[in-house]
Structure 1
Amino acid sequence: MSREPEWVDEEAGPVVRPYAVARGRTRSSSTALDLLATVVSTGSPVPAQAELSGQHRRLLGVLDGRTRPVAEVASELDQPVGVVRVLLGDLLDHGLIRVRPPMDKTNSPTESLLREVINGLRAL
């Protein structure tokens, strides 16, 4: 009596491997999509030649005009960051999202400035 593997979880629905979501790809088409980069949808219509999966459309729905870090988007979709980066690369190739690099450390406030702000707030 052989048992077939369980491919459906009653609560979660069908189980799909991450490499299937990314169509077997492991790298994004863009090097700008690191963990701290932020992405936002452009609001452009989906081109007719774009072959977008349900996951691509779900990803666009998560963005919905809001600027979000790549890591946060991956967490919300409950997908590995590598898979989300591949999907975001596809959307970037079709002009459906914009990517903003993470803030440069040279432009960030210094620790001493932050401490002064904290002390000023405490004094209030």
Structure 2
Amino acid sequence: MNPRERPMTAWAGAVEAAAGAAREGPTPFLRRGGGHPTSEGPSAGVARGDAPSDPLVRPYTLTRGRTRPRSAGPALDMITIVVAARDREEHHLEPEYKEILRLCHRPISVAEISARLDIPMTVVKVLLGDLVAEGDVRTRAAVPVTRLPEKKVLQAVLDGIRRL
């Protein structure tokens, strides 16, 4: 039987779609249409879009395999606030950087960026680190707790919640 005449499996269809998309040009990094990670099959944990023709997007492709930003910068955690530091001509930036800068026109947390773009937190931290190094965004750590609230205050809050 000719390989082109065989019925395509779901995996082969995804590979074929990705190859076709590569021939047509770059694909957006975001998974449009509510893609979600999968938990079964040979590609467990790989994000897919809803349509069978959506290409697979592996997180390390967005950072070119890096797990840390290009240069050392401030430590970023989930609640670090990020805001765009300047307007930059975005036509030279990759799509993921453009989307992050678009979101950062207002102060936003690292966790929110990750959720809105549907990109893993570790990838967002690497991309944000690059933008910080370039001076495109500024970060502000969450205000540290200098003193814990008194037990009486916490008990009053808990009692108030229970009365609701």
- TM-score tier, shorter chain, comes to 0.7 to 0.9
Write the distance in 2 (CA, Å) between the matches of 1:88 and 1:102.
Answer: 16
Write the distance in 1 (CA, Å) between the matches of 2:95 and 2:113.
Answer: 16
Match of 1:41 in 2: 84
For the pair 1:92 / 2:100, whether they are aligned, the reply is no
1:53-64 to structure 2, matched below 5 A, reads 53-64=94-105
Name the stretch that deviates more: 75-84 or 32-41.
Answer: 32-41
SS of aligned partner of 2:83:
strand
SS of aligned partner of 1:72:
helix
For the pair 1:16 / 2:24, whether they are aligned, the reply is no
Q: CA deviation at 1:111?
A: 5.2
SS of aligned partner of 2:129:
helix
Which ranges in structure 2 are unaligned for 5 or more consecutive residues? 18-48
Q: Structure 2 vs 1, CA of residues 105 and 52 (structure 1 numbering), >3 Å: closer, same or farther?
A: same
Which ranges in structure 1 are unaligned for 5 or more consecutive residues? none
Give the aligned residue type for 1:64.
H
TM-score by length of 2: 0.58
**Residue 32 of structure 1 contacts residue 99 of structure 1 at CA under 8 Å; is this kept in 2?**
no
Q: CA deviation at 1:118?
A: 7.6
Two-structure CA RMSD over aligned residues (Å): 3.1
Q: Structure 2 vs 1, CA of residues 13 and 102 (structure 1 numbering), >3 Å: closer, same or farther?
A: same
Runs (4+) of structure 1 exceeding 4 A deviation are 107-111, 114-120
SS of aligned partner of 2:146:
helix
TM-score by length of 1: 0.73
Write the distance in 2 (CA, Å) between the matches of 1:98 and 1:22.
Answer: 20
SS of aligned partner of 1:6:
helix
Q: Deviations over 1:28-52 (max 9, x none)?
A: 343421122111112x13279x952
Q: Structure 2 vs 1, CA of residues 11 and 107 (structure 1 numbering), >3 Å: closer, same or farther?
A: farther
SS of aligned partner of 2:77:
coil
| Number of aligned residues | 120
Name the stretch that deviates more: 90-99 or 24-33.
Answer: 24-33
